[in-house]
Structure 1
């Protein structure tokens, strides 16, 4: 089927990607290559799922909470330094092919049967550094999962700071993400402040679900960016206080319309709060 003019323009248009979860960005092609690597290496493939299950699209009945279970499929395919490096490079190349000229990949360091948290973050950082010759410019945001304990979050931040000092041209920030129904933002403030004091920028998954009290805490923390923000405006599960505070702070927001709709955070494109951000002149990044 021939590509339409809009499809051609969309691909050729220079783009930036500021909210790319590495394990959430793996294409079917990349996942097949990782599975073949495991088979050729004689390593047991623990992904144990049909790859079709990894993609949540229009008409899918799964919701936001189901997405975090689906991510486990990708996590099981990036458990070794070799497959993690493969996944990182292949993802860079695919984004480059789609016309992306700058990308900030993000991922949570993990201990796996084949590598430590330290090796995990080092592998991604080194892979990005070694591919600096590509047309696409790439950077790393280290993620903290909301399901982490305070001790685990503290460890991740210290790893991020060490990697930032070692690769200052690669590591640029820290983020808090994961299932918004788990954990409390206030429990992560200390490690996030520690990261900020070390020179790392902060972005937060914010207002993916209705929780005005926590949303206000996040806004008042003053992150450099937030992700999603669909429940900030009072017409969308927020409050007048959250919206007024957000507008005053003028924090850039990263929005993925398709993600919000496919995960049922928003019913459809017509009812997406993007128009509220636009009308309020909030700096907005579509991805």
Structure 2
């Protein structure tokens, strides 16, 4: 019997997603995989576009714009999905804009019940207004800290700096990560179109990060199969796998794990699973056939994530609700996912323990007692 059987299933309707149960809204959540430039408020994009003379938006109506992003993302193609970011990045080219977007991101996450988040973005995509890479990082960090203050300590936010797979600046961004890792930056990521851009192309960046004892994760196994995950793990040495749903290519229909799948599971390499995004990019057909439940049952370290809240038209609460509706999960399963996320966070061990023992465990215990 799920704990949720004794909890109310009422909630407030979302204009784009499922009705989220009250207990889900109350549940503490953690996110490891969310892109800043995929999670702006639609109204903010419209305002910033007007302020900065950007005329490329498909509409200036915030509701219509939000719907446009969702429809564009629902193409079934990772490449088409990534095209939507051209509009968000276009309005994130000044210090003030970056600070505002970062602050609002934190506030929106706190309102969603998120107590810990690692938010990623690519500094090289925000230089058109004349900012330097360091100034971009400083602006985003300032926005995150302002958001934390406004949220009253309800959320802790850290940053991952992203290198782009299709450019040659990954080592430069890796060095930037190390330079700012005592100021809220906790790790590095590589992202962008996976097809034709294997992670080993950026091996010098990963080797540098290892030499500097700096954390990193790699997008792999989203648009390309298990070979991409193998390269990220065995050649590049990633600590986590962004998405990673194509690990199922190495799992037989009867649940027998191949050598790679066994290695990932047995070494507890975390998978940053983003269910709704995976449906949009064609990595899964629907929630019922999404491998998240199979991977959990087989013992993989699964974490749940939003990827891009604007682009995917989702929240963490809605991601939880989809899995409740599809697999019948209760609070005990989401506590498992949330603890797994914080355990996999690029934070010092004492900080991870504090968040788990002071925020997550008590939060779920309160749900169980209600």
TM category, shorter: 0.7 to 0.9
Note the aligned Cα RMSD (angstroms).
Answer: 2.4
**In the alignment, which residue of structure 2 is the partner of 1:74?**
88
Large movers: runs of 4+ above 6 Å: none
1:100 and 1:212 map into 2 onto residues whose CA distance is 31
Q: Indicate conservation of the 8 Å contact 1:225/1:252, yes or no.
A: yes
Alignment partner of 1:139 is 2:158: yes
Alpha-carbon offset, residue 2 of structure 1: 6.8
Q: Is the counterpart of residue 230 in structure 1 residue 245 in structure 2?
A: yes
**In structure 1, what is the Cα distance between the partners aligned to 2:243 and 2:58?**
28
User: Deviation string for 1:226-271 (max 9, x for gaps)?
Assistant: 111111123679x933323322322011111111112221111121
The Cα offsets for residues 39-73 of structure 1, whole Å up to 9 and x where unpaired, read as xxxx3215433324322489x44522101111111
Whole-Å Cα distance in 2 between the matches of residues 235 and 154 of structure 1?
31
User: Any idea what SS the aligned residue of 1:250 has?
Assistant: coil
1:145–1:178 Cα contact (<8 Å) kept: yes
Find out whether 1:124 has 2:133 as its counterpart. no
Q: Deviations over 1:100-155 (max 9, x none)?
A: 11111100012213312222122112322344423211110011111111xx1111
In structure 2, what is the equivalent of residue 49 of structure 1?
Answer: 58
Q: Secondary structure of 2:21's match?
A: helix
Give the counterpart of 2:273 among 255, 260, 276: 255
1:23-172 matches, within 5 Å, as 23-36=37-50, 38=51, 43-50=52-59, 51=65, 52-56=67-71, 60-110=74-124, 111-133=127-149, 134=151, 135-149=154-168, 152-165=169-182, 167=183, 170-172=184-186
> Aligned partners of 2:262, 2:11: CA distance in 1, in Å?
47
Gaps (5+ residues) in structure 2? Answer: 1-9, 14-18, 60-64, 306-370
CA contact (8 A) 2:220 2:242 kept: yes
Give me the whole-angstrom Cα distance separating, in 2, the residues matched to 1:125 and 1:196: 24
Aligned residues: 275
The alignment's TM-score, normalised by the length of structure 1, stands at 0.87
Whole-angstrom distance in 1 between the partners of 2:11 and 2:233: 45
CA gap of 1:72–1:6, structure 2 versus 1, over 3 A, is closer
